[in-house]
Structure 1
Amino acid sequence: MSSIPATRPIPRPAAWRAVIAASIGNALEWFDLVVYGFFAVVISKLFFPAGNDTVSMLLTLGTFGVSFFMRPLGAIVLGAYADRAGRKAALTLSILLMMVGTFIIAVLPTYHSIGIAAPLILVVARLMQGFSAGGEFGSATAFLAEHVPGRRGFFASWQVASQGLTTLLAAIFGVLLTTKLSPDQMNAWGWRVPFFFGLLIGPVAYYIRTRLDETPEFLAAETTTTPLRDTFATHKLRLVIAIGVVVLGTVATYLVLYMPTYAIKQLGLAPSVAFTAILLTGAIQMVCSPIVGHLSDQHGRTRIMMVSAVLLLVLIYPAFTFLVGHPTFGTLLVIQAGFGLLMTGYFAALPGLLSEMFPVATRTTGMSLAYNVAVTIFGGFGPFIIAWLIGATGSKAAPSFYLIFAALVSLVALLAARGKLGFR
């Protein structure tokens, strides 16, 4: 099948309202997840005081990864719910669950105050956020892609642009808090500020989502009462290929998430410098994602993704080697800019491709499963794996090893998507 529809309807005002509604809610969902990763250094000291900085950090990153075990379950439950009850219903439910998890983290006493209960409750909150996020990607992507089918790539790419906004917002908080607050203030209350910010936006996003119209494609299609069973019965090959395609996108995303910790711990750079460099990555992703989505409508999704994957495969090790040899703000800025462009070139075309791999009746279930299985296995524990690789190999360029592996996996999957499924 071709990934490029023959007709290109003119976008309607309703489609742009959908972009705003899906993007603000999706940005909030991912903001809460990204903030945890960005402030891992502080959280490790407050909730996992193991007496060893490395052990504390691994426990913190492990807790970040544990929440991803819930993502496949969230994908199954919320994805199937979206295919039965509609995209709007699933989007509204997912943001409510995320707000509850965020509230728990924002007000949770530290280990010093309540002992072992603190990290245990933190894990519960992260599991709740993971379940919510498990249904967000598929529901938001289907919601965007189904409003203007002739321009799926462009409209679905706003899902990635909203994640760029997430990175940008989280990095802004990182810069402001690390430059304006003392370490004691940061540990006492500063790290909680971004989580409370998320709680303030949550009701607005919920209100907007409850007043959305359902997508025209979903309303026109026949629904099924067994979307999960149908996906495994008739779309197993598509599911496997989709999982493979997601691998590079998720590893690249969570490598970006780990970069502030990497810059502070491995390069010895100031926290404010590390977060400032991440600002550039978020801005690139936010601005360039719709451009990549538009190009994928014109020239094909897999072509653009393969070019980005090959460039990442070839350039990432030399880039990290150069960064380790020249650990300055300027070098970090250049590396982050190049990495941001290549990551966006791959990731922004991904939602459009995934939305076309599955029919309307099982679209959210299929996309949610594919995305979250890949994210759970390869992305959620990405920061943990990267930190372990650095310790095991003794090489500060070790993060590139994991990305090279991911690029190889996804290139094979993209070739299968072209050869077996006929995408271009």
Structure 2
Amino acid sequence: MKANDMVLDDQTFAHGAQGVSEKTVDWRTILLASVGGGLEFYDFIVYGIFAPYVAKSFFPTGNGATSMIATFAAFAVGYLARPLGGVVLGHIGDKFGRRLAFQLSLVLMTATTAGMALMPSYQTMGVTASIAFVALRFLQGACIGGELPGAIAYVVESAPRKSGLACGVMFACVNSGSLLAAIVSLGLHAWLTDAQMLAYGWRAAFLVGGGLGAVGALMRSGLKETALFLSIRQHKRTKLPAVEVLQRHWFQVITTIGIVGLNQALIALLSVAMVPGVDPVKPDTPSH
């Protein structure tokens, strides 16, 4: 029974793909779909670079190591929220359209990023500030959990016959968020003192991410639902897409979780956890 259902799914997808024009891939659409993923990578690197300032602002325990542990625990909360966000936003995408799902995720992710930047510190609000910061991080992680998968689905359905190339270009654009984060960090550290970085410098870096997300959301507002999704929806309807996926493709889901989980753990270790421990290289001063 399940095998027949899977064949039916493949046939439905193929039928939908036949209705999609073989015209040249709309690269503007691919770039706009990459905005949210780029913001995710930007947030990834920025959080790691400015973690010492976040620790002092929201988790001042009196012990530097303990504060950093609390800061990265808050970062991990975002990862715990990703599966929930993936299920909820994935359901919205399957039922109502990919565009709606990843547009909603980007708007919420932008709002939470800006909220983290504008959140009063522990010195102003006490433990309430710490709790609110973690709550924003949780919501941000949930949005990220639905953003990139939704964007990938949108890209694949926009160019079903060149999906490999389209996704490759998309991920190249997504990784540009890491480069932008490094450039922003370099500029802020070059112009601001350590005290200024603690007072407002790290917040400026987060606000840059929020601003980019807002611009991206506005640019995405003109995107239309993919023809492939509209065609498939006419032939197959499911009340609970997430449940159907788990029932029919549970092995693939578990395998993917293992592969992606290992990849994300390595990225988090190298790009976030190790960054605060790297000492900045200072130029040699000539001896007199």
Instruction: Give the TM-score normalised by structure 1.
Output: 0.58
Select which of 134, 138, 147 maps to 2:149: 138
Indicate if the aligned counterparts of 1:35 and 1:194 stay in contact, CA closer than 8 A.
yes
State how 1:104-143 maps to structure 2 within 5 Å.
104-143=115-154
Residue number in structure 2 paired with 1:243: 257
Q: Tell me how large the CA RMSD over aligned residues is.
A: 2.3
Q: 1:213 aligns to what SS in structure 2?
A: coil
Indicate if the aligned counterparts of 1:41 and 1:57 stay in contact, CA closer than 8 A.
yes
Select which of 270, 282, 285 maps to 2:280: 270
Moved more, 228-237 or 203-212: 203-212
1:194 aligns with 2:209: no
Change (3 A) 1:251 1:160: farther
Select which of 223, 245, 252 maps to 2:266: 252
Q: How far is 1:97 from its partner? A: 0.9
Residue number in structure 1 paired with 2:31: 20
Letter in 2 for 1:229: V
Q: Which runs of 5+ in 1 are unaligned?
A: 264-268, 274-424
Change (3 A) 1:153 1:205: same
- Deviation string 1:329-378 (CA, Å, 9 cap, x unpaired) is xxxxxxxxxxxxxxxxxxxxxxxxxxxxxxxxxxxxxxxxxxxxxxxxxx
Q: 1:228 aligns to what SS in structure 2?
A: helix
Residue number in structure 2 paired with 1:204: 215
CA distance in 1, matches of 2:116, 2:209: 11
CA distance in 2, matches of 1:159, 1:129: 21
Q: 1:218 aligns to what SS in structure 2?
A: helix
State how 1:13-412 maps to structure 2 within 5 Å.
13=25, 15-221=26-232, 222-258=236-272, 259-263=274-278, 269-270=279-280
Q: Which runs of 5+ in 2 are unaligned?
A: 1-6, 8-13, 284-288
Equivalenced residues, count: 262
CA distance in 2, matches of 1:117, 1:162: 37
- Deviation string 1:264-297 (CA, Å, 9 cap, x unpaired) is xxxxx21789xxxxxxxxxxxxxxxxxxxxxxxx
Percent of aligned positions that are identical: 34
CA distance in 2, matches of 1:232, 1:272: 53
Letter in 2 for 1:219: L
CA distance in 1, matches of 2:281, 2:33: 32
Letter in 2 for 1:235: H
Letter in 2 for 1:72: P
Letter in 1 for 2:262: L
Letter in 1 for 2:146: G
Indicate if the aligned counterparts of 2:36 and 2:148 stay in contact, CA closer than 8 A.
no
Q: Say which one has the larger Rg.
A: 2
Letter in 2 for 1:261: P
Residue number in structure 1 paired with 2:3: none
CA distance in 1, matches of 2:101, 2:90: 8
Indicate if the aligned counterparts of 1:11 and 1:148 stay in contact, CA closer than 8 A.
no
CA distance in 2, matches of 1:127, 1:246: 19
Q: How far is 1:135 from its partner? A: 0.5
Q: How far is 1:150 from its partner? A: 2.3
CA distance in 1, matches of 2:202, 2:173: 22
Q: 2:275 aligns to what SS in structure 1?
A: helix
Q: How far is 1:198 from its partner? A: 2.1
Q: How far is 1:86 from its partner? A: 0.9
Residue number in structure 1 paired with 2:10: none
Indicate if the aligned counterparts of 1:29 and 1:95 stay in contact, CA closer than 8 A.
no
CA distance in 2, matches of 1:244, 1:201: 32
Change (3 A) 1:230 1:46: same
Residue number in structure 1 paired with 2:11: none
Q: 1:189 aligns to what SS in structure 2?
A: helix
Q: How far is 1:210 from its partner? A: 1.9
Change (3 A) 1:54 1:39: same
Residue number in structure 2 paired with 1:371: none
- Deviation string 1:91-129 (CA, Å, 9 cap, x unpaired) is 110011112211211111111122111111101110110
Indicate if the aligned counterparts of 2:116 and 2:206 stay in contact, CA closer than 8 A.
yes
CA distance in 1, matches of 2:128, 2:57: 12
Indicate if the aligned counterparts of 1:98 and 1:133 stay in contact, CA closer than 8 A.
yes
CA distance in 2, matches of 1:184, 1:194: 15
CA distance in 1, matches of 2:270, 2:201: 22
Q: How far is 1:32 from its partner? A: 3.0
Indicate if the aligned counterparts of 2:94 and 2:241 stay in contact, CA closer than 8 A.
yes
CA distance in 2, matches of 1:82, 1:61: 31
